[in-house]
Amino acid sequence: MNHYLVANPHIRSNVNLRDPQIFAYEKMLNHYSNDDNDRTSLIVLPTGSGKTGLMAIAPYGIAKKRVLIITPQTVVKDTVLGSLDPMYPLNFWLSTKVFSGKYELPTVIEYSGKLSQDILESADLVILNIHKLQERLESSLLKKVDPTFFDMIIIDEAHHSEAHTWKNAVQYFSEAKILKVTGTPFRSDGVKIEGEEIYSYRLGQAMANGYVKSLERFTHSPEKMAFTLDKNDDKFYTLEEVMELKPEDWITRSVALSYESNISVVERSISMLNVKKDKTNYNPHKIVAVACSIEHAEQLKGIYEQKGLQVAIVHSKMEKSELKKEFDKIETHDVEVVVNVALLGEGYDHKFLSIAAIFRPFKSDLPYQQFIGRVLRSISISDGYEVNEEDNIAQVIHHKELNLDGLWERYKNEIDRSNVIKEMKKKHKIEKSLKPTTPLEDLDFGNTSESDSYVTNADTFMDTVLIKRRENKLAEEQERIQKLMSDFGVTEELAISLNKQMNVKSDAETERLLRPDLYQQNLRSLLNSKINEEIIPDI
Protein backbone atom coordinates (compact mmCIF):
# COMPACT_ATOMS: atom_id res chain seq x y z
CA MET A 1 0.00 0.00 0.00
CA ASN A 2 1.29 3.46 -0.92
CA HIS A 3 2.67 5.42 2.04
CA TYR A 4 1.00 8.70 1.06
CA LEU A 5 -2.45 7.09 0.93
CA VAL A 6 -2.29 5.38 4.34
CA ALA A 7 -0.21 7.86 6.36
CA ASN A 8 -1.96 10.08 8.90
CA PRO A 9 0.15 13.27 9.12
CA HIS A 10 -0.69 16.09 11.53
CA ILE A 11 -0.73 19.13 9.23
CA ARG A 12 -3.78 21.40 9.28
CA SER A 13 -3.86 22.33 12.99
CA ASN A 14 -0.17 21.72 13.68
CA VAL A 15 1.15 24.70 15.66
CA ASN A 16 4.72 23.63 14.86
CA LEU A 17 4.21 24.35 11.16
CA ARG A 18 4.48 27.86 9.78
CA ASP A 19 1.48 29.70 8.38
CA PRO A 20 2.85 29.82 4.81
CA GLN A 21 3.45 26.06 4.89
CA ILE A 22 -0.14 25.33 5.94
CA PHE A 23 -1.68 27.92 3.60
CA ALA A 24 0.39 26.68 0.64
CA TYR A 25 -0.56 23.09 1.46
CA GLU A 26 -4.26 23.99 1.41
CA LYS A 27 -3.82 25.69 -1.96
CA MET A 28 -2.18 22.53 -3.32
CA LEU A 29 -5.01 20.32 -2.08
CA ASN A 30 -7.55 22.58 -3.77
CA HIS A 31 -5.55 22.77 -6.99
CA TYR A 32 -4.96 19.05 -7.42
CA SER A 33 -8.47 18.05 -6.36
CA ASN A 34 -9.66 19.38 -9.71
CA ASP A 35 -8.50 17.22 -12.61
CA ASP A 36 -9.08 20.10 -15.03
CA ASN A 37 -6.35 22.23 -13.44
CA ASP A 38 -2.82 22.44 -14.85
CA ARG A 39 -0.67 19.54 -13.64
CA THR A 40 2.11 22.09 -12.95
CA SER A 41 1.78 24.48 -10.01
CA LEU A 42 4.13 27.14 -8.63
CA ILE A 43 4.54 28.23 -5.01
CA VAL A 44 6.71 31.20 -3.99
CA LEU A 45 8.24 31.16 -0.51
CA PRO A 46 11.19 33.40 0.46
CA THR A 47 14.52 31.84 1.41
CA GLY A 48 14.39 30.65 5.01
CA SER A 49 10.60 30.70 5.37
CA GLY A 50 10.04 26.94 5.12
CA LYS A 51 10.43 25.65 1.53
CA THR A 52 11.95 22.31 2.58
CA GLY A 53 9.19 21.76 5.12
CA LEU A 54 6.57 22.50 2.49
CA MET A 55 8.15 19.91 0.21
CA ALA A 56 8.00 17.41 3.09
CA ILE A 57 4.24 17.76 3.61
CA ALA A 58 3.24 18.44 -0.02
CA PRO A 59 2.64 14.82 -1.15
CA TYR A 60 0.18 13.90 1.63
CA GLY A 61 -3.36 13.73 0.31
CA ILE A 62 -2.09 14.44 -3.22
CA ALA A 63 0.43 11.79 -4.34
CA LYS A 64 -0.87 8.31 -5.06
CA LYS A 65 2.58 6.72 -5.23
CA ARG A 66 6.28 7.63 -5.23
CA VAL A 67 7.51 11.22 -5.15
CA LEU A 68 10.67 12.67 -6.71
CA ILE A 69 12.41 15.83 -5.42
CA ILE A 70 14.77 17.49 -7.93
CA THR A 71 17.34 20.07 -6.78
CA PRO A 72 19.63 22.22 -8.94
CA GLN A 73 22.96 21.39 -7.29
CA THR A 74 24.64 19.23 -4.65
CA VAL A 75 24.58 21.93 -1.95
CA VAL A 76 20.79 22.25 -2.23
CA LYS A 77 20.31 18.48 -2.45
CA ASP A 78 22.37 17.89 0.70
CA THR A 79 20.34 20.49 2.59
CA VAL A 80 17.03 18.90 1.58
CA LEU A 81 18.24 15.37 2.26
CA GLY A 82 19.62 16.38 5.64
CA SER A 83 16.27 17.83 6.70
CA LEU A 84 14.24 14.85 5.47
CA ASP A 85 16.52 11.95 6.41
CA PRO A 86 14.39 9.58 8.57
CA MET A 87 17.52 8.42 10.42
CA TYR A 88 18.16 11.97 11.67
CA PRO A 89 16.29 12.43 14.98
CA LEU A 90 15.70 16.12 14.24
CA ASN A 91 14.30 15.55 10.75
CA PHE A 92 11.45 17.83 9.72
CA TRP A 93 8.55 15.41 10.19
CA LEU A 94 9.55 14.47 13.75
CA SER A 95 10.77 17.86 14.97
CA THR A 96 7.50 19.51 13.88
CA LYS A 97 5.39 16.56 15.11
CA VAL A 98 3.86 15.94 11.70
CA PHE A 99 4.57 12.33 12.72
CA SER A 100 5.24 11.07 16.23
CA GLY A 101 7.66 8.23 15.51
CA LYS A 102 10.08 6.78 12.97
CA TYR A 103 7.70 3.94 12.19
CA GLU A 104 5.36 6.49 10.50
CA LEU A 105 7.98 8.03 8.23
CA PRO A 106 8.36 7.52 4.48
CA THR A 107 11.22 5.53 3.01
CA VAL A 108 13.73 8.04 1.62
CA ILE A 109 16.64 7.41 -0.74
CA GLU A 110 19.25 9.59 -2.39
CA TYR A 111 19.42 8.43 -6.00
CA SER A 112 22.59 6.89 -7.33
CA GLY A 113 23.07 4.93 -10.53
CA LYS A 114 24.54 2.11 -8.42
CA LEU A 115 21.28 1.44 -6.56
CA SER A 116 19.48 -1.80 -7.36
CA GLN A 117 15.98 -1.85 -8.80
CA ASP A 118 14.67 -3.35 -5.57
CA ILE A 119 15.96 -0.36 -3.59
CA LEU A 120 14.40 2.09 -6.06
CA GLU A 121 11.04 0.34 -5.90
CA SER A 122 11.10 0.31 -2.10
CA ALA A 123 11.30 4.12 -1.95
CA ASP A 124 8.46 6.49 -1.10
CA LEU A 125 10.61 9.56 -1.70
CA VAL A 126 13.63 9.87 -4.04
CA ILE A 127 15.93 12.91 -3.83
CA LEU A 128 18.54 13.87 -6.43
CA ASN A 129 20.15 16.82 -8.13
CA ILE A 130 19.37 17.59 -11.74
CA HIS A 131 22.64 16.14 -13.07
CA LYS A 132 21.35 12.63 -12.30
CA LEU A 133 18.62 13.17 -14.92
CA GLN A 134 20.86 13.91 -17.89
CA GLU A 135 19.81 11.65 -20.76
CA ARG A 136 23.38 11.21 -22.05
CA LEU A 137 24.44 9.40 -18.87
CA GLU A 138 23.96 5.65 -18.58
CA SER A 139 23.36 6.13 -14.86
CA SER A 140 20.52 8.62 -15.47
CA LEU A 141 17.35 7.92 -13.50
CA LEU A 142 15.44 8.31 -16.77
CA LYS A 143 17.08 5.07 -17.94
CA LYS A 144 16.25 3.20 -14.74
CA VAL A 145 12.51 3.76 -14.33
CA ASP A 146 9.46 4.00 -16.58
CA PRO A 147 7.47 7.26 -17.06
CA THR A 148 4.79 6.23 -14.55
CA PHE A 149 7.25 5.48 -11.72
CA PHE A 150 6.47 8.76 -9.90
CA ASP A 151 3.07 10.33 -9.31
CA MET A 152 4.46 13.66 -8.10
CA ILE A 153 7.62 15.63 -8.87
CA ILE A 154 8.73 18.51 -6.65
CA ILE A 155 11.22 20.95 -8.18
CA ASP A 156 13.23 23.02 -5.71
CA GLU A 157 14.64 26.42 -6.77
CA ALA A 158 12.20 26.31 -9.68
CA HIS A 159 13.64 29.30 -11.54
CA HIS A 160 16.06 26.72 -13.01
CA SER A 161 13.26 24.56 -14.34
CA GLU A 162 13.04 26.09 -17.83
CA ALA A 163 16.48 24.75 -18.76
CA HIS A 164 16.74 21.81 -21.17
CA THR A 165 17.46 18.96 -18.71
CA TRP A 166 14.64 20.03 -16.38
CA LYS A 167 12.10 20.25 -19.18
CA ASN A 168 13.12 16.83 -20.49
CA ALA A 169 12.53 15.27 -17.07
CA VAL A 170 9.09 16.88 -16.76
CA GLN A 171 8.18 15.67 -20.25
CA TYR A 172 9.43 12.14 -19.52
CA PHE A 173 7.22 11.81 -16.43
CA SER A 174 4.33 13.13 -18.46
CA GLU A 175 1.52 12.08 -16.12
CA ALA A 176 3.08 13.19 -12.81
CA LYS A 177 1.88 16.19 -10.87
CA ILE A 178 4.55 18.90 -10.91
CA LEU A 179 5.08 21.24 -7.94
CA LYS A 180 7.61 24.02 -8.42
CA VAL A 181 8.92 25.88 -5.37
CA THR A 182 11.14 28.97 -5.39
CA GLY A 183 11.97 32.12 -3.48
CA THR A 184 12.82 34.06 -6.65
CA PRO A 185 10.02 33.50 -9.21
CA PHE A 186 11.85 34.95 -12.19
CA ARG A 187 14.91 34.24 -14.33
CA SER A 188 17.80 36.47 -15.37
CA ASP A 189 17.03 35.75 -19.04
CA GLY A 190 13.40 36.82 -18.63
CA VAL A 191 11.96 33.42 -19.57
CA LYS A 192 8.66 32.81 -17.77
CA ILE A 193 8.50 29.92 -15.31
CA GLU A 194 5.81 27.51 -16.50
CA GLY A 195 3.00 26.57 -14.13
CA GLU A 196 0.08 28.21 -12.37
CA GLU A 197 1.15 30.27 -9.36
CA ILE A 198 -1.21 29.05 -6.65
CA TYR A 199 0.40 30.68 -3.60
CA SER A 200 2.93 33.42 -2.88
CA TYR A 201 4.30 34.58 0.47
CA ARG A 202 6.11 37.90 0.58
CA LEU A 203 9.52 38.47 2.16
CA GLY A 204 8.06 41.32 4.22
CA GLN A 205 5.54 38.90 5.71
CA ALA A 206 8.30 36.43 6.55
CA MET A 207 10.30 39.14 8.34
CA ALA A 208 7.27 40.46 10.21
CA ASN A 209 6.47 36.97 11.45
CA GLY A 210 10.06 36.19 12.45
CA TYR A 211 10.51 33.35 9.97
CA VAL A 212 13.63 35.03 8.57
CA LYS A 213 16.00 37.65 9.92
CA SER A 214 15.07 41.31 9.70
CA LEU A 215 17.30 43.25 7.33
CA GLU A 216 19.23 46.52 7.39
CA ARG A 217 21.33 48.00 4.59
CA PHE A 218 24.31 50.30 5.12
CA THR A 219 26.19 52.22 2.42
CA HIS A 220 29.72 53.56 2.84
CA SER A 221 29.87 57.09 1.43
CA PRO A 222 33.23 58.90 1.54
CA GLU A 223 32.85 62.68 1.56
CA LYS A 224 35.39 62.94 -1.25
CA MET A 225 36.48 60.49 -3.96
CA ALA A 226 39.02 60.64 -6.76
CA PHE A 227 39.76 58.27 -9.66
CA THR A 228 42.63 57.54 -12.01
CA LEU A 229 41.63 56.91 -15.63
CA ASP A 230 43.78 53.78 -15.68
CA LYS A 231 44.88 51.37 -12.98
CA ASN A 232 48.50 52.31 -13.70
CA ASP A 233 47.87 56.06 -13.91
CA ASP A 234 49.01 58.58 -11.26
CA LYS A 235 46.71 61.47 -12.09
CA PHE A 236 43.44 61.64 -10.11
CA TYR A 237 40.11 63.10 -11.23
CA THR A 238 37.08 63.94 -9.09
CA LEU A 239 33.99 61.76 -9.26
CA GLU A 240 32.18 64.52 -11.13
CA GLU A 241 34.97 64.78 -13.71
CA VAL A 242 35.11 61.02 -14.22
CA MET A 243 31.34 60.88 -14.75
CA GLU A 244 31.87 63.14 -17.78
CA LEU A 245 34.64 60.92 -19.15
CA LYS A 246 33.65 57.34 -18.35
CA PRO A 247 30.41 55.29 -18.42
CA GLU A 248 28.66 54.25 -15.21
CA ASP A 249 29.84 50.61 -15.51
CA TRP A 250 33.47 51.73 -15.55
CA ILE A 251 32.96 53.74 -12.35
CA THR A 252 31.24 50.92 -10.46
CA ARG A 253 33.89 48.44 -11.65
CA SER A 254 36.67 50.74 -10.48
CA VAL A 255 35.08 51.08 -7.04
CA ALA A 256 34.55 47.30 -6.85
CA LEU A 257 38.17 46.46 -7.71
CA SER A 258 40.15 49.30 -6.11
CA TYR A 259 42.09 48.47 -2.95
CA GLU A 260 41.22 51.69 -1.14
CA SER A 261 37.47 51.31 -1.65
CA ASN A 262 37.68 47.61 -0.76
CA ILE A 263 39.50 48.29 2.50
CA SER A 264 36.90 50.90 3.48
CA VAL A 265 34.05 48.38 3.16
CA VAL A 266 36.15 45.64 4.81
CA GLU A 267 36.69 47.89 7.84
CA ARG A 268 33.00 48.82 8.04
CA SER A 269 31.96 45.14 7.86
CA ILE A 270 34.45 44.16 10.59
CA SER A 271 33.16 46.95 12.82
CA MET A 272 29.59 45.71 12.29
CA LEU A 273 30.64 42.15 13.09
CA ASN A 274 32.35 43.20 16.32
CA VAL A 275 29.29 45.14 17.44
CA LYS A 276 27.00 42.20 16.65
CA LYS A 277 29.18 39.74 18.56
CA ASP A 278 29.37 42.08 21.53
CA LYS A 279 25.57 42.35 21.62
CA THR A 280 24.95 38.60 21.21
CA ASN A 281 27.16 37.02 23.87
CA TYR A 282 29.81 36.47 21.16
CA ASN A 283 27.73 34.04 19.12
CA PRO A 284 29.63 32.86 16.01
CA HIS A 285 28.23 35.39 13.52
CA LYS A 286 30.13 35.76 10.27
CA ILE A 287 30.64 38.08 7.33
CA VAL A 288 29.88 36.65 3.89
CA ALA A 289 31.53 38.64 1.10
CA VAL A 290 30.92 38.42 -2.65
CA ALA A 291 33.75 39.24 -5.06
CA CYS A 292 33.91 40.00 -8.79
CA SER A 293 36.29 37.18 -9.65
CA ILE A 294 38.52 34.51 -8.15
CA GLU A 295 41.54 36.82 -8.24
CA HIS A 296 39.51 39.57 -6.58
CA ALA A 297 38.32 37.11 -3.92
CA GLU A 298 41.93 36.24 -3.09
CA GLN A 299 42.67 39.95 -2.69
CA LEU A 300 39.71 40.41 -0.33
CA LYS A 301 40.78 37.36 1.66
CA GLY A 302 44.20 38.97 2.08
CA ILE A 303 42.70 42.25 3.31
CA TYR A 304 40.53 40.54 5.91
CA GLU A 305 43.49 38.44 7.06
CA GLN A 306 45.63 41.57 7.38
CA LYS A 307 42.95 42.84 9.77
CA GLY A 308 43.39 39.71 11.91
CA LEU A 309 40.32 37.69 10.84
CA GLN A 310 40.23 34.03 9.85
CA VAL A 311 38.86 33.61 6.32
CA ALA A 312 37.36 30.79 4.23
CA ILE A 313 37.24 31.18 0.47
CA VAL A 314 34.95 29.24 -1.88
CA HIS A 315 34.62 29.30 -5.64
CA SER A 316 33.74 26.96 -8.48
CA LYS A 317 37.33 26.25 -9.58
CA MET A 318 38.30 24.63 -6.28
CA GLU A 319 38.70 20.87 -5.96
CA LYS A 320 35.93 19.09 -4.03
CA SER A 321 38.34 18.20 -1.23
CA GLU A 322 39.41 21.86 -0.91
CA LEU A 323 35.81 23.03 -0.88
CA LYS A 324 34.93 20.51 1.81
CA LYS A 325 37.74 21.80 4.01
CA GLU A 326 36.54 25.37 3.60
CA PHE A 327 32.90 24.46 4.30
CA ASP A 328 34.01 22.47 7.35
CA LYS A 329 35.77 25.58 8.67
CA ILE A 330 32.51 27.50 8.31
CA GLU A 331 30.36 24.85 9.99
CA THR A 332 32.77 24.45 12.94
CA HIS A 333 33.02 28.24 13.37
CA ASP A 334 36.76 28.31 12.70
CA VAL A 335 36.41 31.39 10.48
CA GLU A 336 34.80 34.81 10.81
CA VAL A 337 34.64 35.66 7.11
CA VAL A 338 33.52 33.71 4.04
CA VAL A 339 34.60 35.14 0.68
CA ASN A 340 32.86 33.65 -2.34
CA VAL A 341 32.58 34.05 -6.09
CA ALA A 342 29.17 33.04 -7.47
CA LEU A 343 29.10 29.84 -5.39
CA LEU A 344 27.10 30.60 -2.24
CA GLY A 345 23.96 31.41 -4.17
CA GLU A 346 20.88 29.37 -3.46
CA GLY A 347 20.62 26.50 -1.06
CA TYR A 348 23.59 27.04 1.25
CA ASP A 349 22.23 27.19 4.77
CA HIS A 350 24.49 28.51 7.54
CA LYS A 351 22.44 30.54 10.00
CA PHE A 352 25.35 32.55 11.39
CA LEU A 353 26.09 34.26 8.09
CA SER A 354 24.69 37.58 9.26
CA ILE A 355 26.59 40.39 7.52
CA ALA A 356 26.62 40.54 3.71
CA ALA A 357 29.53 42.56 2.33
CA ILE A 358 29.09 43.35 -1.36
CA PHE A 359 32.22 44.01 -3.44
CA ARG A 360 30.76 43.55 -6.91
CA PRO A 361 28.42 45.74 -9.01
CA PHE A 362 25.34 43.55 -9.38
CA LYS A 363 23.27 44.49 -12.40
CA SER A 364 20.23 42.22 -12.06
CA ASP A 365 17.92 41.16 -9.28
CA LEU A 366 18.33 37.38 -9.23
CA PRO A 367 21.99 37.12 -8.13
CA TYR A 368 21.56 40.14 -5.84
CA GLN A 369 18.56 38.62 -4.06
CA GLN A 370 20.13 35.19 -3.83
CA PHE A 371 23.27 36.60 -2.23
CA ILE A 372 21.32 38.61 0.35
CA GLY A 373 19.26 35.48 1.01
CA ARG A 374 22.37 33.84 2.49
CA VAL A 375 22.14 36.06 5.59
CA LEU A 376 18.40 35.74 6.17
CA ARG A 377 18.23 32.32 7.89
CA SER A 378 16.84 32.87 11.37
CA ILE A 379 18.52 31.58 14.54
CA SER A 380 16.69 30.05 17.52
CA ILE A 381 17.66 28.55 20.86
CA SER A 382 17.26 25.12 19.29
CA ASP A 383 20.51 25.90 17.44
CA GLY A 384 22.30 25.63 20.77
CA TYR A 385 22.97 29.27 21.59
CA GLU A 386 21.54 31.98 23.79
CA VAL A 387 19.66 34.22 21.37
CA ASN A 388 18.32 37.76 21.52
CA GLU A 389 16.85 40.15 18.96
CA GLU A 390 20.28 41.18 17.61
CA ASP A 391 20.97 37.60 16.45
CA ASN A 392 18.08 37.84 14.00
CA ILE A 393 18.88 41.17 12.38
CA ALA A 394 20.96 40.75 9.24
CA GLN A 395 22.97 43.58 7.72
CA VAL A 396 24.16 44.43 4.20
CA ILE A 397 27.12 46.76 3.62
CA HIS A 398 28.52 48.09 0.34
CA HIS A 399 30.14 51.16 -1.17
CA LYS A 400 27.63 53.77 -2.30
CA GLU A 401 29.28 54.10 -5.71
CA LEU A 402 28.53 50.47 -6.58
CA ASN A 403 25.20 51.98 -7.56
CA LEU A 404 23.01 49.30 -5.98
CA ASP A 405 20.26 51.63 -4.77
CA GLY A 406 17.87 50.58 -7.53
CA LEU A 407 18.24 46.88 -6.72
CA TRP A 408 17.78 47.55 -3.01
CA GLU A 409 14.62 49.58 -3.56
CA ARG A 410 13.12 46.93 -5.84
CA TYR A 411 14.06 44.24 -3.35
CA LYS A 412 12.74 46.27 -0.43
CA ASN A 413 9.49 47.38 -2.02
CA GLU A 414 8.84 44.09 -3.84
CA ILE A 415 7.49 45.82 -6.90
CA ASP A 416 5.42 44.11 -9.56
CA ARG A 417 7.30 41.07 -10.93
CA SER A 418 6.65 41.96 -14.53
CA ASN A 419 8.60 45.22 -14.11
CA VAL A 420 11.46 43.31 -12.49
CA ILE A 421 11.59 40.86 -15.40
CA LYS A 422 11.55 43.65 -17.99
CA GLU A 423 14.44 45.37 -16.23
CA MET A 424 16.41 42.13 -15.99
CA LYS A 425 16.04 41.48 -19.71
CA LYS A 426 17.77 44.81 -20.40
CA LYS A 427 20.65 44.12 -18.02
CA HIS A 428 21.21 40.39 -18.53
CA LYS A 429 24.00 40.92 -21.10
CA ILE A 430 25.84 43.34 -18.79
CA GLU A 431 25.72 40.82 -15.93
CA LYS A 432 27.31 38.14 -18.11
CA SER A 433 30.28 40.31 -19.10
CA LEU A 434 31.95 40.12 -15.67
CA LYS A 435 33.01 36.49 -15.35
CA PRO A 436 34.42 34.97 -12.14
CA THR A 437 37.55 33.80 -13.97
CA THR A 438 38.33 37.07 -15.75
CA PRO A 439 41.91 38.21 -14.88
CA LEU A 440 41.90 41.71 -13.38
CA GLU A 441 44.62 42.81 -15.79
CA ASP A 442 42.16 42.27 -18.67
CA LEU A 443 39.63 44.68 -17.17
CA ASP A 444 39.46 48.39 -17.82
CA PHE A 445 39.19 50.18 -14.48
CA GLY A 446 40.91 52.92 -12.50
CA ASN A 447 41.98 53.24 -8.90
CA THR A 448 40.14 55.28 -6.29
CA SER A 449 41.22 57.60 -3.54
CA GLU A 450 38.92 58.32 -0.58
CA SER A 451 38.91 60.90 2.17
CA ASP A 452 39.23 59.69 5.76
CA SER A 453 35.88 61.28 6.54
CA TYR A 454 32.81 59.31 5.44
CA VAL A 455 29.14 58.75 6.14
CA THR A 456 27.44 55.40 6.68
CA ASN A 457 23.81 55.52 5.59
CA ALA A 458 21.45 52.95 7.09
CA ASP A 459 18.11 51.68 5.87
CA THR A 460 15.94 48.87 7.26
CA PHE A 461 13.97 46.55 5.01
CA MET A 462 11.00 47.09 7.32
CA ASP A 463 10.50 48.10 10.96
CA THR A 464 9.97 44.66 12.43
CA VAL A 465 9.31 43.84 16.06
CA LEU A 466 12.92 42.68 16.38
CA ILE A 467 14.36 46.00 15.26
CA LYS A 468 12.03 47.99 17.52
CA ARG A 469 12.88 45.74 20.44
CA ARG A 470 16.59 46.17 19.80
CA GLU A 471 16.23 49.95 19.70
CA ASN A 472 14.52 49.85 23.10
CA LYS A 473 17.26 47.72 24.62
CA LEU A 474 20.44 49.34 23.27
CA ALA A 475 21.30 50.87 26.66
CA GLU A 476 20.49 47.77 28.67
CA GLU A 477 22.71 44.82 29.52
CA GLN A 478 22.07 41.66 27.52
CA GLU A 479 19.75 39.32 29.37
CA ARG A 480 20.74 35.70 29.59
CA ILE A 481 18.26 33.24 28.17
CA GLN A 482 17.56 30.14 30.23
CA LYS A 483 20.09 27.36 29.66
CA LEU A 484 19.04 24.61 27.35
CA MET A 485 17.67 21.35 28.69
CA SER A 486 19.78 18.82 26.81
CA ASP A 487 22.90 18.26 24.73
CA PHE A 488 20.87 19.21 21.67
CA GLY A 489 20.12 22.59 23.24
CA VAL A 490 16.32 22.52 23.16
CA THR A 491 13.33 23.31 25.33
CA GLU A 492 12.03 20.84 27.88
CA GLU A 493 9.05 19.95 25.70
CA LEU A 494 11.21 19.21 22.67
CA ALA A 495 13.72 17.31 24.81
CA ILE A 496 10.89 14.99 25.95
CA SER A 497 9.81 14.49 22.34
CA LEU A 498 13.38 13.76 21.24
CA ASN A 499 13.78 11.23 24.03
CA LYS A 500 10.74 9.34 22.76
CA GLN A 501 12.09 9.37 19.22
CA MET A 502 15.55 8.20 20.27
CA ASN A 503 13.96 5.26 22.03
CA VAL A 504 12.95 3.85 18.69
CA LYS A 505 15.28 0.92 18.19
CA SER A 506 18.23 2.12 16.11
CA ASP A 507 19.23 -1.17 14.57
CA ALA A 508 19.93 -2.50 11.09
CA GLU A 509 16.25 -3.23 10.50
CA THR A 510 15.31 0.41 11.13
CA GLU A 511 18.01 1.60 8.72
CA ARG A 512 16.95 -0.95 6.12
CA LEU A 513 13.38 0.31 6.18
CA LEU A 514 14.01 4.06 6.30
CA ARG A 515 17.28 4.49 4.35
CA PRO A 516 17.62 1.37 2.18
CA ASP A 517 20.19 3.09 -0.02
CA LEU A 518 22.53 3.59 2.96
CA TYR A 519 21.78 0.07 4.19
CA GLN A 520 22.84 -1.34 0.83
CA GLN A 521 26.04 0.74 0.87
CA ASN A 522 26.83 -0.45 4.39
CA LEU A 523 26.32 -4.07 3.34
CA ARG A 524 28.79 -3.57 0.50
CA SER A 525 31.27 -2.01 2.90
CA LEU A 526 30.91 -4.88 5.36
CA LEU A 527 31.32 -7.42 2.54
CA ASN A 528 34.46 -5.70 1.29
CA SER A 529 35.89 -5.69 4.81
CA LYS A 530 35.10 -9.36 5.24
CA ILE A 531 36.79 -10.24 1.94
CA ASN A 532 39.87 -8.05 2.56
CA GLU A 533 40.29 -8.68 6.27
CA GLU A 534 39.08 -12.26 6.74
CA ILE A 535 38.66 -14.35 3.59
CA ILE A 536 41.82 -13.30 1.70
CA PRO A 537 44.13 -13.64 4.75
CA ASP A 538 42.66 -17.12 5.43
CA ILE A 539 43.37 -18.17 1.84
Interatomic CA distance for residues 325 and 485, integer angstroms:
32
Band of residue 509 on the pLDDT scale cut at 50, 70, 90: low
Closest listed residue to residue 146, CA positions, set 108, 122, 120: 120
What pLDDT is recorded for position 188? 53
Which residues have a Cβ under 8 Å from the Cβ of 363 and sit 6 or more positions away?
427, 430, 431
* Across 235-246, average pLDDT: 91
Contact 420, 377 (CB under 8 A): no
Q: Where are the domains of the chain?
A: 3-201, 213-473, 492-538
Please state the CATH superfamily assignment of the domain spanning residues 213-473 in this structure: P-loop containing nucleotide triphosphate hydrolases (3.40.50.300)
- Pairing label, strands 177-182, 196-200: unpaired
Band of residue 489 on the pLDDT scale cut at 50, 70, 90: low
Band of residue 523 on the pLDDT scale cut at 50, 70, 90: low
What pLDDT is recorded for position 421? 41
Helix (H) or strand (E) holding 346: none
What pLDDT is recorded for position 381? 87
Q: What is the pLDDT of residues 371-414, one digit of tens each?
A: 898 899 899 888 889 999 999 999 999 999 999 998 888 787 75
Q: What is the pLDDT of residues 191-204, one digit of tens each?
A: 677 888 999 888 88
What pLDDT is recorded for position 134? 84
Interatomic CA distance for residues 281 and 375, integer angstroms:
19
Least confident of 88-92, 222-226, 271-275, 494-498: 494-498
In three-state secondary structure terms, 304 is: helix
What pLDDT is recorded for position 512? 62
Residue 533 DSSP symbol: I
What pLDDT is recorded for position 398? 96
**Percent of the chain at pLDDT exceeding 70:** 79
Interatomic CA distance for residues 110 and 125, integer angstroms:
9
DSSP string, 119-140: HHHH-SEEEEEGGGG-TT-TT-
What pLDDT is recorded for position 538? 53
Contact 309, 282 (CB under 8 A): no
Chain centroid, CA 469 distance in Å: 27
More confident residue, 184 or 273: 273
What pLDDT is recorded for position 500? 45
Interatomic CA distance for residues 141 and 517, integer angstroms:
15
What pLDDT is recorded for position 56? 94
What pLDDT is recorded for position 476? 57
Q: For the chain, give the mean pLDDT.
A: 82
Interatomic CA distance for residues 423 and 164, integer angstroms:
24
Say if residue 416's pLDDT is above 50.
no
Say if residue 164's pLDDT is above 80.
no
Other C-beta atoms closer than 10 Å to the C-beta of 443 total 19
Task: Name residue 310's amino acid.
Answer: Q
Band of residue 525 on the pLDDT scale cut at 50, 70, 90: low
What pLDDT is recorded for position 258? 93
What pLDDT is recorded for position 113? 87
Closest listed residue to residue 332, CA positions, set 314, 350, 354: 350
Q: What is the pLDDT of residues 5-33, one digit of tens each?
A: 889 999 988 999 999 999 999 999 999 99
Band of residue 1 on the pLDDT scale cut at 50, 70, 90: low
Band of residue 422 on the pLDDT scale cut at 50, 70, 90: very low
Chain centroid, CA 456 distance in Å: 28
* Across 305-333, average pLDDT: 92
Residue 229 DSSP symbol: S
In three-state secondary structure terms, 219 is: strand
Interatomic CA distance for residues 78 and 71, integer angstroms:
9
Least confident of 235-244, 345-354, 461-470: 461-470
Helix (H) or strand (E) holding 489: none
Other C-beta atoms closer than 10 Å to the C-beta of 12 total 10
Helix (H) or strand (E) holding 27: helix 19-32
Closest listed residue to residue 125, CA positions, set 157, 96, 93: 93
Please identify, in words, the CATH class of the domain defined by 3-201: alpha beta
More confident residue, 84 or 501: 84
Do 3-201 and 213-473 show the same overall fold? yes
Band of residue 274 on the pLDDT scale cut at 50, 70, 90: very high
Instruction: Decide: pTM greater than 0.85.
Output: no
Q: Is 365 exposed, middle or buried (0-12, 13-18, 19+ CB in 10 A)?
A: buried
What pLDDT is recorded for position 203? 84
Interatomic CA distance for residues 460 and 213, integer angstroms:
12
Say if residue 129's pLDDT is above 50.
yes
What pLDDT is recorded for position 420? 45
Q: What is the pLDDT of residues 451-487, one digit of tens each?
A: 777 777 777 776 777 777 777 765 554 444 454 465 6
Q: What is the pLDDT of residues 433-447, one digit of tens each?
A: 566 777 777 777 777
Say if residue 272's pLDDT is above 70.
yes
Band of residue 167 on the pLDDT scale cut at 50, 70, 90: confident
More confident residue, 1 or 530: 1
What pLDDT is recorded for position 383? 84
DSSP string, 143-182: GTS-TTS-SEEEEESGGGTTSHHHHHHHHHSTTSEEEEEE
Interatomic CA distance for residues 511 and 523, integer angstroms:
11
Closest listed residue to residue 298, CA positions, set 434, 447, 439: 439
Half-sphere exposure of 501 (CA within 13 A, CB side): 25
Contact 485, 495 (CB under 8 A): yes
Give whichever of 198-207, 304-313, 323-332 has the largest mean pLDDT. Answer: 304-313
